[in-house]
Amino acid sequence: NAGVTQTPKFQVLKTGQSMTLQCAQDMNHEYMSWYRQDPGMGLRLIHYSVGAGITDQGEVPNGYNVSRSTTEDFPLRLLSAAPSQTSVYFCASSYKASGSMAGELFFGEGSRLTVL
């Protein structure tokens, strides 16, 4: 049981390059989300999904795209990387999206991205 798996763990990009951060979970979780973590700002929600084919924007969606074609995968795409996107990115999932079953978030190990 791998839980939430993120790849890559480290990445260095040049300004203007594009890339995809991969996230996969093997727990059949309905809810998946992406956060970025910057010093002193906690975890800020980028995008989230409440099921396959359904995505929505969080607090800081600009410059990022997501899709959810399967229950297991939720990739995050950086369209044209900027230095302001230098951050640690966490993917997280939970069993349900809402209601009394909307339980704990399981986090991946994080992906550290540097944009030069």
Partner 1 sequence: QQPVQSPQAVILREGEDAVINCSSSKALYSVHWYRQKHGEAPVFLMILLKGGEQKGHEKISASFNEKKQQSSLYLTASQLSYSGTYFCGTRRNNNDMRFGAGTRLTVKP
Residue ranges in contact with partner 1 by CB under 8 A:
31, 33, 35, 40-45, 48, 50, 56, 58-59, 90, 92, 97-98, 100, 102-110
Whether residue 8 is preceded by a cis peptide bond, meaning omega within 30 degrees of 0, is yes
- Residue 84 φ/ψ, nearest 5 degrees: -65, -15
Please state the separation of Cα 7 from the chain's center in Å.
Answer: 11
Residue number with CB closer to partner 1 (17 or 58): 58
CB of 107 to partner 1, least distance (A): 4
Residue number with CB closer to partner 1 (27 or 107): 107
Residue number with CB closer to partner 1 (49 or 85): 49
Residue number with CB closer to partner 1 (60 or 78): 60
CB of 48 to partner 1, least distance (A): 5
**What 3-state class would DSSP assign to 69?**
coil
Give the whole-angstrom CA distance, residue 59 versus residue 49.
14
The burial class, CB within 10 Å (0-12 / 13-18 / 19+), for 84 is exposed
